[in-house]
Amino acid sequence: MGNRSTVTCEEDGSVLTTQDLGVLVAQMVWRATGVKTRVTVGRLVAAVQLLAGLLLGALASAPNGVAQSTYPDITGFTNAGSLEKFRVVDRDGIWFTNALGTFCGIDDDGGYGCSGTLPGVLVGENEIAWFPTDPFPRLYRTDNPAFASGRNQEVLVAKTFIVYRGSACATTLDASIYCINGDNPDSQLLVTPSATYRGRQAQPSS
């Protein structure tokens, strides 16, 4: 059996477990309706403390809501190997695209982004990027795309990733592009076939 959460009642020194909690909650309800019980104030307080502890434990172990389920887990992806094939003549940094033709790159300073048609964004916005000084990826319109080199950019095939200057980008099975700097959750961005997300909470860009 797994370990059971417990809390000690300061009034009488008794120890309450999760099994006791159900009984005490029921007795609390009965007490509120006027039915005589043997529940003391101390045991009621202890029961509340135990319940609060259980709730906090559940929250601590739960995924971070939308963000955790929206962003892909790339730990099982394959490293794309040598970065030389992702270089472009006369340009610094790493350049790549996906099967849908979204152009992306990682700069020499570790910043990254994607240029072109970004699903779900406001009309006119055509670039999403995170730069080292940014607390949050930015989304904007530009006439000079920073991540479309104008040359052939290597396709980053599905379920592979590249790492350059502390930043990683990966392509999923549905051709979504995901990037993150180190382990900074605020730097995350994701361009999927239907929507664009950014930041710790996977904020939709629409």
Do 28 and 44 contact (CB within 8 A), yes or no?
A: yes
Look at residue 195 in the predicted model and tell me its pLDDT. 96
* Same domain flag for 42 and 124: no
| Domain end residue (candidates: 38, 62, 86) | 62
* Same domain flag for 126 and 167: yes
* Same domain flag for 115 and 176: yes
* Separation between Cα atoms, residue 197 and residue 136, nearest integer Å: 11
Count each helix (H run) and each strand (E run) in the chain, helices first. Answer: 3, 14
pLDDT tens digit string along 90-147? Answer: 999 999 999 999 999 999 999 999 999 999 999 999 999 999 999 999 999 999 999 9
* Same domain flag for 52 and 71: no
pLDDT tens digit string along 39-63? Answer: 555 554 454 455 445 444 444 444 4
Whole-prediction pTM:
0.69
Number of domains in the chain: 2
* Same domain flag for 177 and 115: yes
- Domain housing 138: 67-204
End-to-end CA distance of the chain: 47
Whether residue 1 lies inside any domain: the answer is no
